[in-house]
Amino acid sequence: MTTPDLFCQITRGDLDAAVVTRTDEFIAFLDHRPVFPGHVLIAPLVHVETMLDLPDELKAPLLTLAQRVARALAEVTGCQGTFVAMNNVISQSVLHLHLHVVPRTKGDGLRGFFWPRTTYAEGEAEELAGQLAAAVVT
């Protein structure tokens, strides 16, 4: 890819995002159009387009971070569980690998793969990202 994608801009700090946490390999930030408040995206700091391109040494750290984020979501939002998903080429809105960690509660209305989207009120994303950042266990 010759031009930087949206997530490369976020990883470099060229584009603002409500960052939840950052490791040596990944950045986790709130989706700007969440399925539910607290919807986190985890993306590698290096440009990786699809799951098939993910280097072996990043596979375990990706799932470890997803676990940490899921625990933080339960603590901060009170969700009962999470939906963890990754689109691979088809329906991949940004050609930079990213894992969705979406808070879920029984009866929340999410059905199948239809993902209704919402938006955050002014300042709400930053506040929630701060709470999640404090709750992500290193």
Active site residues: 98
DSSP states of the chain as a string? --SPPHHHHHHHTSS---EEEE-SSEEEEE-SS-SSTT-EEEEESS---SGGG--HHHHHHHHHHHHHHHHHHHHHH--SEEEEE---STT-SSSS--EEEEEE-TTS--BTTB-----PPTTHHHHHHHHHHHH---
